[in-house]
Structure 1
Amino acid sequence: MSQETPYIFDATALNFDQAVIQNSFIKPVLVDFWAEWCAPCKVLMPLLARITEEYQGELLLAKVDCDAEQDIVARFGIRSLPTVVLFKDGQPVDGFAGAQPESAIRALLEPHVQPPLPSEADPFEAAQALFNESRFAEAEASLKLLLSEDNTHAPALILYARCLAERGELDQAQSVLDAVKGDEHKAALAGAKAQLTFLRQAATLPDPAELKSRLGQDPGDDEAAYQLSIQQLSRQQYEAALEGLLKLFVRNRSFNEGAAHKTLLQVFELLGNDHPLVTTYRRRLFAALY
């Protein structure tokens, strides 16, 4: 990949120690492990580049072509793509695997890099704040007003659908999400669709009390553990669900074709990744992966 700004560069076996390890003593360096055949990598890379440019030199972005740089891949034990690792003071300090929403990346960087100046608050940001405080009716009212002025505002449509879902209007929420066009807000859209999926799945699953009873008799009942997590997600019991999913992933990461890992990532999208629970569990998942 060609150099895009002075702060973005390709890292190879020849320059890695200088460009990444040594540079990280001066500025944090985000390392993006990618490959040409990896579609999520191509979605993530422009987002990482845009965020890096916003920091105007306070953050560097190193791109590692994993097909060409097998020695680096082996050195850091990279097992899935994309993988992003943040280096600071010569050491990896945080990271994630898989394409992530912008909020997740910013939350990861916040403790380590001086943040760019925030933009002025707008009506959507106000509605988002209400939603984050579980003031769903107020958020919905604000979003209706915003959408009356611009019914193509994709983030507002997605958040409006989540408000509808919170009060059980699943079909109406689905219709709103189906009206969202373009790929720019793919991660937020995926999170909102995950919310609907959890609510619909929970309606077909055994009662939580029955699932807890099964687990009491057999703590290794992976199906009961997974189904209980889905029930907890449908009831906004996020901490219990995340803990159960992470334990299931550690115990049997291949269960139901990696369902625990996939669902963890869906929950991260659902909560927006700047949620304190997600910050904790994203790091615990990263530790379990690597």
Structure 2
Amino acid sequence: MSATPYIFDASTLDFDQSVIQNSFHKPVLVDFWADWCAPCKALMPLLAKVAEEYRGELLLAKVNCDLEPDVVARFGIRSLPTVVLFKDGQPVDGFAGAQPESAIRAMLAPHVQTPPAEEVAPLETAQALFSEGRIGEAEALLAQLFAEEAEPAPAALILYARCLAERGALDDAQRTLDAVKGDEHKSALAAARAQLTFLRQAADLPEVAELKTRLAQNADDDEALYQLAVQQLARQLHEPALEALLKLFMRNRGYADGLAHKTLLQVFDLLGNDHSLVTGYRRKLYQAIY
């Protein structure tokens, strides 16, 4: 059985109800298949994908021909896979044999209503824009959202603060983060605070080119290595920054009272526990400690 209510098994006992009667409300696509039929198994996921994308405007019934010979005989099924579309109690279209997705959609188009477009919440759109580096667009969308809502959601405030921070409005970003109440978004708030910290630190540090020159002259310059990592974090170059911080921790874990270790943990907060870099570097840090 499928996890979606739009896809179900049909049998001799319930075929009239689940297919014929249902087809007076929504078109029902019936997939006649068998376990030994390789083309059937290739077709199944395509049919399921199409049915799910119609989001209830199309139902998909699956008939196992080995278990339901009476249904097979009733509709004269002679080859597998066979797919029949029922509408208003009658078969109206279909095909035999495996078909590409484009052909399935073309067959359904005249009979099945296109589902309404899913509305995307403004916050989700802003999050997507931010992830794509379109910071200004994300900020503008959030500002519009705030103008329409008396009490902005904490997640929206945090994202807005990150937008402000990215364009250098660090004080405004801090005030926005300070307005976030409650512990529900604790991890996202920690990430935003970490980002803001790195940007503030980077503003007072030497330029990247100067730090790289210092390291070229003296590879053991711990201060230059740490400052370069912070500059990289401010530019969201997370992997080289993590590598530099881990290198500094391994050779001088006492630097600035354990600053490399503390900063690594801040970066983990910034990226989130599920990030692949965090998974890898947390393991490396653990190995370095123990």
In the superposition, relative to structure 1, how do residues 215 and 158 fare at CA in structure 2: closer, same or farther (>3 Å)?
A: same
Contact 1:123 1:142 in 2 (8 A): yes
In the other structure, the counterpart of 1:263 is: 263
How many Å separate the matches in 2 of 1:249 and 1:150? 46
How many Å separate the matches in 1 of 2:197 and 2:174? 10
Partner letter of residue 138 of structure 1? E
In the superposition, relative to structure 1, how do residues 138 and 286 fare at CA in structure 2: closer, same or farther (>3 Å)?
A: farther
In the other structure, the counterpart of 1:143 is: 142
CA shift for structure 1 position 272: 3.1
CA shift for structure 1 position 221: 1.6
Q: Which runs of 5+ in 2 are unaligned?
A: 1-118
In the superposition, relative to structure 1, how do residues 278 and 256 fare at CA in structure 2: closer, same or farther (>3 Å)?
A: same
Indicate the larger mover: 227-236 or 136-145: 136-145
Contact 1:187 1:269 in 2 (8 A): yes
In the other structure, the counterpart of 2:125 is: 126
Secondary structure, aligned partner of 2:174: helix
In the superposition, relative to structure 1, how do residues 214 and 271 fare at CA in structure 2: closer, same or farther (>3 Å)?
A: same
Q: Which runs of 5+ in 1 are unaligned?
A: 1-119
In the other structure, the counterpart of 2:195 is: 195
Contact 1:152 1:180 in 2 (8 A): no
CA shift for structure 1 position 206: 1.8
How many Å separate the matches in 2 of 1:180 and 1:231? 27
Count of residues in correspondence between the two structures: 171
Contact 2:187 2:272 in 1 (8 A): no
TM-score, normalisation: structure 2: 0.53
In the superposition, relative to structure 1, how do residues 204 and 158 fare at CA in structure 2: closer, same or farther (>3 Å)?
A: same
Partner letter of residue 141 of structure 1? A
Contact 1:250 1:288 in 2 (8 A): yes
CA shift for structure 1 position 181: 1.5
In the superposition, relative to structure 1, how do residues 204 and 283 fare at CA in structure 2: closer, same or farther (>3 Å)?
A: same
- Equivalent runs, 1:1-290 vs 2, <5 Å: 122-147=121-146, 148-290=148-290
How many Å separate the matches in 1 of 2:195 and 2:266? 8
TM-score, normalisation: structure 1: 0.53
Secondary structure, aligned partner of 2:214: helix
C-alpha deviations, 1:85-137, integer Å up to 9, x for none? Answer: xxxxxxxxxxxxxxxxxxxxxxxxxxxxxxxxxxx975433322322222222
In the superposition, relative to structure 1, how do residues 228 and 246 fare at CA in structure 2: closer, same or farther (>3 Å)?
A: same
C-alpha deviations, 1:207-255, integer Å up to 9, x for none? Answer: 2222222222222221111111111112222221111011111112221
In the superposition, relative to structure 1, how do residues 131 and 274 fare at CA in structure 2: closer, same or farther (>3 Å)?
A: farther
In the other structure, the counterpart of 2:96 is: none
How many Å separate the matches in 2 of 1:254 and 1:135? 39
C-alpha deviations, 1:174-210, integer Å up to 9, x for none? Answer: 1111111223323322221221221111121122222
Indicate the larger mover: 265-274 or 169-178: 265-274
Secondary structure, aligned partner of 2:180: coil
How many Å separate the matches in 1 of 2:170 and 2:249? 29
In the other structure, the counterpart of 1:103 is: none
**Percent of residue pairs identical:** 68
How many Å separate the matches in 2 of 1:229 and 1:137? 26
Contact 2:139 2:160 in 1 (8 A): yes
How many Å separate the matches in 2 of 1:217 and 1:162? 36
How many Å separate the matches in 1 of 2:244 and 2:271? 17
RMSD: 2.2
In the superposition, relative to structure 1, how do residues 166 and 223 fare at CA in structure 2: closer, same or farther (>3 Å)?
A: same
C-alpha deviations, 1:28-85, integer Å up to 9, x for none? Answer: xxxxxxxxxxxxxxxxxxxxxxxxxxxxxxxxxxxxxxxxxxxxxxxxxxxxxxxxxx
Structure possessing the higher radius of gyration over alpha carbons: 2
Q: Tell me which of the two structures has the higher relative contact order, counting C-alpha pairs closer than 8 angstroms and 6 or more residues apart.
A: 1
